[in-house]
A and B are shown apart, each in its own frame.
Chain A
Amino acid sequence: DGGITQSPKYLFRKEGQNVTLSCEQNLNHDAMYWYRQDPGQGLRLIYYSQIVNDFQKGDIAEGYSVSREKKESFPLTVTSAQKNPTAFYLCATSYDFPGRNEQFFGPGTRLTVL
């Protein structure tokens, strides 16, 4: 099946720990994105990547890091520098050219800091 997988679905972290959220896609999309969503809020862009080995900061990149070593994978690390990491994290992909190229979303990871 084609799609986007995110793991784990739920993640609990102690303060001061780094955690890595996985995002894998087999849609052959060039662009991949990470969003953060807080309760009752919209999506805020953390990082995005349009090509392997390249990525750009979004609006709220502080305290997060990413890598794009393979086209299929775009893991997000939430570092201890992120002050309030409890949120719902969504990974998305799209073709990287204009037109009717909507973003496809993964099922999300709910991160809770204990």
Chain B
Amino acid sequence: AQKITQTQPGMFVQEKEAVTLDCTYDTSDPSYGLFWYKQPSSGEMIFLIYQGSYDQQNATEGRYSLNFQKARKSANLVISASQLGDSAMYFCAMRVTNTGNQFYFGTGTSLTVIP
């Protein structure tokens, strides 16, 4: 069975500080991709960053980086220099090649950036 777990329902961070959002996953398939999405209060889903299971280096996209620890099956999102506009829900997702490319989502983490 495929599963994504986000154990932090809510997080707070001071503006300009860094924050780590946790994500662990479970799959027995060696080929998979991990994604992070941001959902502001407007409801739109915004793609942030991708990590492939065979990628040797951690993914980075601007202020976002993914701390990929394959042996621990974790894919934590790190946001550096937090901004007020980063306040949103954040979802971790996994796509497993041998399950018809279905996506599996975690329950999300609500991030609040404090001025």
Contacts and interface: CB of A to CB of B under 8 A. Distances in A.
Pairs of residues from A and B, 6 with the lowest C-beta to C-beta distance, nearest first: A105-B45, A42-B107, A98-B97, A43-B105, A102-B47, A100-B50
Nearest to A105: B45
B101 A31 contact: yes
Interface residues of A, number: 29
Contacts of B108: 41-42
Given A42-B106, A42-B108, A50-B100, A98 B31 contact: yes
A102 B35 contact: yes
A56 interface: yes
Interface string B36-69: 0100000111010010100000000000000000
B107 A48 contact: no
Nearest to B44: A107
A96 B101 CA distance: 7
A10 B93 CA distance: 26
A101 B33 CA distance: 9
Contact of A107 (B35, B43, B47, B101): B43
A100 B45 contact: no
B28 interface: no
B55 to A, nearest CB: 9
A97 B101 contact: yes
Contacts of B93: 103
A107 B102 CA distance: 20
Contact of B95 (A35, A50, A98): A98
Given A104-B47, A108-B43, A48 B102 contact: yes
A23 to B, nearest CB: 14
A42 B110 CA distance: 11
A97 to B, nearest CB: 7
26 contacts: A31-B101, A33-B103, A35-B105, A42-B106, A42-B107, A45-B102, A48-B100, A48-B102, A88-B43, A90-B43, A92-B45, A92-B103, A97-B101, A98-B95, A99-B33, A99-B52, A100-B50, A101-B33, A101-B95, A103-B35, A103-B47, A103-B93, A103-B103, A105-B37, A107-B43, A108-B43
